[in-house]
Structure 1
Amino acid sequence: MNTSLAEPLTTPPDANLDTDSRVPGNSGIWVGIFCVLVEFLMLFTVYFVAKAHHPEAFQGGPDKLATVAGVTITMLLLTSGYCMVKAVAAVRQDASTRAFRWILLAILLGCGYPLVKYFEIRWNITHGVDGQAGIFYTVYYYLTLTHLVHVFWGLLGLSWVAIRTNRGIYSSEEYGGLEAAAVYWHTTDVIWLVIFPFFYVLR
């Protein structure tokens, strides 16, 4: 019997498992993310209920919003999320200095979101688009400002892991905290990718 044909059969069943197949981050962050997703699921339900009862308000509502602001926020968050991907990849290579720079860039881009939102709200109010302008704008403000609160939490998390990365606390052997912050940050990206078309695109 040719033993070369039989050798693959004796390979341990877990020998080819990908070492990166583990769940990223930690269990605590996933509990938090689950709570955030449930919260926004409820808010999206409110959106659809309001739209079903006031279709005309949601038909013309996006016309008064500054679409360029929504697009800018989208690009800032996606680019910031990409920076966190690069930061995690750098730590896995024990390149802490490079990872720190990527995190700082992610924070800088992330801070662009509240800055753009500030000018957007000023523009809205100048053009009569406030919380009293109709049901569409009431839902719009409630959802987007709630999302902004979570972005602030995310920025605080990124700042914390930036400090720890700069101190060399994370390494290729242990970077769960950095990964947890990155996962939460990606969650805010995904939620915004749902919010953006709801208010700026769909009629």
Structure 2
Amino acid sequence: MTLYFLPDYPSRDFLANGFNVDYERNIPTLYSFLALLFSSLLLGAIAHAKNLDSCRYKHHWTILSFIFLYLSLDEVSQWHEKLANPMRSLVNTTGFLYFNWVVPMGFLVAIFLLSYSKFLFHLPVATKKLFVAATALYIGGAIGMEMLAGYIVYTTGPERNLSYVIVTTLEEFLEMLGIVVFIHALISYIKTYLGGVSWNIYIPGKNTEVT
């Protein structure tokens, strides 16, 4: 927004690029990467506890951990955008599907939601509500706002206008908020139903332990 509403000042472009949520390899990207990676670690800790208890849903937690690990790596590598060219050769997408990677991703999300429905219903009510809220926020941003951004680009051209900037900013905000809600859900679940969790870090060759 600083490029649209504020006068020029030293390092304006540098700061704008460094905090532009639509750009890669900057502060928002690093934050999202760390938040998703932290979610993966929390899910891994829960999966380990569930495996010790021989819980019937232990594999669901493990798969979730790997999914969030992939999402964290995708945040810095943008693998999903590499689907654009193959999809363009298969389907001539326009309008809301202008960013055509949302087609295979939407299909995968639908499969995921169906396959995890029983897992969701077995969760405690408080955790279930937070999971649903986090999922709605994240998918609403990642796919819903991306479709709207694609429609803006399709109708107005590739030049980044104010409408596009607002939509992409809202997209990233919803994704970040969804992850924050999800992390809160995981920490609350660990604290309430698993009695907490701790990590011990040992440094080889030294009498050092960090908990």
The TM-score bracket by the shorter chain reads: 0.3 to 0.5
Who wins on radius of gyration, i.e. which is larger? 1
Q: Which has the higher contact order (CA 8 A, sep 6+)?
A: 1
TM-score (norm 1): 0.45
